Structure 1
Amino acid sequence: MNRNNKHEKLFWSIALPGFGQILNGKFLKGFLFIALEFLVNVQSNFNEVILLSFHGEIEKAIQQTNYGWLMFYPCLYFFAMWDAYKDAGGGKKPYSFLPFVFSAYFVTVGTIYSSKLTLFGVLLGPIWLPILSVIPGVGFTLKWFIHKIAKGKSPDKLYATNGRVN
């Protein structure tokens, strides 16, 4: 891959927050993200929760989770992804941050409800419900909508032709 590839930096940030920043040459920021990831990971018992969840022991995973710390993880994770992508030259279009912001928001909400909310009678817990809560499509849709309004098209004129979006 090309050293300037914004998608490469994004994918490394998905692997571990901070890796994308290091590849971008932002070493202090990269090591800070890695340190914060380790801090939140250890304090929330995240690795143990992941293992228990993958083994289907959702109740044990819920008991092991420190939700006060785990709720920081989605924002840290998605912000590190956005930051690496942006520093690598991505995100130049207006509102391109919205998919990252909405993903962080919905995963955080999924984390909050993960100890109680069931889906078709199944308790998904602190790993599976937040993963299913990643809804970047809301961010992409809102980004498109705001961009259209910013270009001067009012919301009522967006659906002018046979109910299709122009």
Structure 2
Amino acid sequence: MNNFKPTNEERRFKAHVSIFGTTQLHLRNPFIIAWWSAAFPGFGHLLLSKYLRGYTLFLWEILINVMTKLNLAMVYSFTGNFEMAKEVVEPRWFLLYIPVYLFAIWDSYRTAVDLNKVFLLAERENADFNSYSIGAFEINYLDKRRPSMAVLWSLFMPGMGQLYIHRVATGTFSLIWMIVFVYFSNVLIAIHLLFLGDIPQATQVLNPQWLLFIPSLYGFAIYDSYVNTVENNKLFESEQRKFLSENYQQYRVKIPSKQ
């Protein structure tokens, strides 16, 4: 249940608080957004809170990358084994990869530019928005959080930093896929063997096709949680400033001067 009812006079809102998270507009660098889309299609759109498009591109990247064996080919290329890299790549899937990859970069850049313009209009209008939401399963409200704590929890496990700032959808999505990547990459088995001193076996047991997904997810989780914590704090201060100004600024406190 929200404590806010929009009117027909309000065209744009800076934010929306729901039980699933806080979605807000703020200025973003389009080149940074495009870079994240290049690092992993879908991440740029998730940073823009374009969740349906971001999840679709993310799942597409996993499917095509695995079927193409692109990560495995990259590992062979990095180690100088170019002939083996050519052999493992599946061309029937690889040709599907390029157009959607380029679209993800272009569309995230274009959307970031457009949303920056929308934010400037919404900031000028400064319309009221709901700052508190309560439902049968969750409660969400604007509050100030520590960016360093969001980064710390993301370092422990991608997704927990987002849960700390109540980005439930992105946090749950990141946690689930981190489990998938860790399981299929055998990274925990490799760490166990490394502790036992069996370095050759630890290296051999790793699955590089799935292992190369993990650094991108870690980097995205850290960056996303940090940026959104900072912007949520700004949004909280902006909402508080407007509320106090509209409800209490008319009351002038007269401080008697000392004679």
Which amino acid in structure 2 is aligned with residue 76 of structure 1? L
The aligned runs of 1:1-166 (5 Å cut-off) are 4-89=145-230
Which amino acid in structure 1 is aligned with residue 195 of structure 2? F
Q: State how far apart, in whole Å, the 2-side matches of 1:50 and 1:14 are.
A: 17
Q: Which has the higher contact order (CA 8 A, sep 6+)?
A: 2
Structure 1: segments with no counterpart, 5+ residues: 91-166
Q: State how far apart, in whole Å, the 2-side matches of 1:49 and 1:89 are.
A: 36
Structure 2: segments with no counterpart, 5+ residues: 1-142, 232-259
Q: State how far apart, in whole Å, the 2-side matches of 1:11 and 1:3 are.
A: 16
Which amino acid in structure 2 is aligned with residue 75 of structure 1? S
Q: State how far apart, in whole Å, the 2-side matches of 1:22 and 1:3 are.
A: 14
> Between the two proteins, what is the percent identity of the paired residues?
30
Q: State how far apart, in whole Å, the 1-side matches of 2:152 and 2:181 are.
A: 20
**Runs of 4+ with >6 A deviation:** none
Q: State how far apart, in whole Å, the 1-side matches of 2:195 and 2:226 are.
A: 29
Length-normalised TM-score, structure 2: 0.33
Q: State how far apart, in whole Å, the 2-side matches of 1:89 and 1:43 are.
A: 34
Which amino acid in structure 2 is aligned with residue 4 of structure 1? R
Length-normalised TM-score, structure 1: 0.51
Which amino acid in structure 2 is aligned with residue 48 of structure 1? I
Q: 1:3 to 1:56 in 2, by over 3 A?
A: farther
* DSSP 3-state at the match of 1:33: helix
Q: Which residue of 2 aligns with 1:136?
A: none
Q: 1:3 to 1:46 in 2, by over 3 A?
A: farther
Which amino acid in structure 1 is aligned with residue 220 of structure 2? F
Which amino acid in structure 2 is aligned with residue 43 of structure 1? F
